[in-house]
């Protein structure tokens, strides 16, 4: 099977961290060309710090990490320290990063890589607000036709919102950016809360992380133990929902996921429903079916894959 050559755009975030670790632990299927950071869960300075800490935890200080947009396209930044803690990576105690950020700006790296690499050979994996990707598409419209696929964590339909009654966090932070991406015509795979809320780190699953006895296994167990508070309290969940790792797991084992090719549009004006992903799951409109919207997964297969791969690091 052809390898996925990817750029990970991210706002770490404990779940982003697990998604990045899964990608770095899967060289047979995934070649990570670079990691671009965006403001989201916490401000850009912290997401750029956290991404490098995760690469060093994985033993990959060579991985190029770029700093991107520090605020959404058209509104003030909303962050989520109430979920991820003050640093965005609360839970484990990890050393400050030694590896430097790379030049240039993340948006220029995305544009430059897509122009330099063969057409249709690069997949963008978006784990945070879509600001960097939307800015790249706006500044360099020619790259849209060169992108193989965008696989993103964001949105919700049956699960409705996690930051407002109507909106999921990544889309809510930058709805204008999401609107640009969803209208771009680029093939999009969406991992909404509908599926990520079924990828819960229950106690036995977290025990399996800790039982690895490795720095990575222990750090992931500590991350999920911190990160689960919010969802356990709000939803009565059985554990932390691993939102972003659904994106990288899709690249490795798409068959454990199921969804529908439907129309998804973004609310960008109403204050009441700003950032809502209006998903035409039941096909009641003839709007273009612009996204593969994932609704379910085989959670045991997902955690089996995750545990097997993280144990490699
Ligand atoms: O709503 C969940 C998403 O928002 C995840 O990507 C999490 O990391 C935050 O970015
Ligand atoms: Ca994220």
- Report the DSSP beta bridge partners of residue 122: 5, 147
The residue nearest atom 8 of ligand 1, judged by CA position, is: 13
Going from the Cα of 244 to the center of ligand 2, the distance in angstroms, rounded, reads 6
Is the pLDDT at 14 greater than 90? The verdict is yes
Binning pLDDT at 50, 70 and 90, where does residue 2 land?
Answer: confident
Mean pLDDT estimate for the chain: 97
Question: Distances from the Cα of 275 to the Cαs of 53, 129, 169, 209, 217, in angstroms?
Answer: 30, 11, 8, 34, 34
What pLDDT, on a 0 to 100 scale, did the predictor assign at position 215?
Answer: 98
Is residue 84 part of the annotated active site? The answer reads no
- CATH number for 226: 3.90.245.10
Percent of the chain scored above 90 by pLDDT? 96
Among the atoms of ligand 1, which is closest to the Cα of residue 168? Answer: 1
Ligand 1 site-directed mutation target among 16, 47, 125, 164, most atoms within 8 Å of CB: 16
Going from the Cα of 169 to the center of ligand 1, the distance in angstroms, rounded, reads 6
Exposed/middle/buried for 49, CB within 10 Å: 0-12, 13-18, 19+?
buried
- The domain in which residue 18 lies consists of 4-310
- pTM beyond 0.85, yes or no: yes
What pLDDT, on a 0 to 100 scale, did the predictor assign at position 296?
Answer: 98
Q: pLDDT tens-digit profile of 25-42?
A: 999 999 999 999 999 999
Cis preceding-peptide flag for 104 (omega within 30 of 0): yes
Q: pLDDT tens-digit profile of 245-287?
A: 999 999 999 999 999 999 999 999 999 999 999 999 999 999 9
């Amino acid at each position: 099977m052809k390898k996925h050559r990817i750029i990970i755009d991210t706002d770490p975030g404990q779940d982003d961290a697990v998604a990045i670790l899964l990608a770095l632990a899967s060289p047979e299927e995934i070649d990570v060309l670079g990691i671009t950071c965006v403001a989201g869960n916490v401000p850009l300075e912290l997401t750029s710090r956290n991404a490098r800490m995760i690469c060093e935890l994985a033993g990959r200080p060579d991985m190029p990490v770029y700093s991107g947009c520090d605020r959404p396209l058209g509104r003030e930044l909303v962050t989520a320290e109430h979920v991820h803690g003050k640093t965005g990576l609360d839970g484990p105690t990890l050393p400050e990063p030694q590896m430097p950020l790379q030049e240039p700006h993340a948006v220029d790296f995305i544009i430059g890589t897509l122009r330099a690499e063969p057409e249709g050979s690069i997949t963008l994996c978006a784990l945070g607000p879509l600001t960097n990707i939307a800015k790249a598409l706006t500044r360099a419209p020619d790259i849209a036709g060169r992108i193989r696929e965008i696989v993103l964590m964001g949105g919700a339909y049956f699960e409705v919102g996690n930051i407002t009654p109507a909106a999921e966090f990544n889309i809510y932070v930058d709805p204008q950016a999401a609107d640009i991406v969803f209208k771009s015509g680029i093939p999009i795979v969406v991992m909404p809360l509908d599926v990520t809320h079924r990828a819960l780190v229950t106690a036995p699953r977290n025990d399996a992380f800790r039982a690895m006895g490795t720095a990575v296994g222990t750090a992931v167990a500590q991350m999920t133990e911190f990160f689960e508070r919010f969802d356990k309290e709000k939803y009565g969940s059985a554990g932390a929902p691993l939102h972003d790792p659904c994106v990288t797991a899709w690249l490795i084992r798409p068959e454990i996921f199921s969804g529908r090719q439907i129309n998804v549009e973004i609310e960008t004006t109403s204050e009441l429903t700003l950032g809502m992903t209006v998903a035409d799951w039941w096909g009641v409109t003839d709007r273009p079916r612009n996204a593969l919207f994932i609704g379910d997964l085989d959670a045991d297969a997902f955690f089996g894959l995750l545990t097997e791969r993280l144990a490699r690091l």
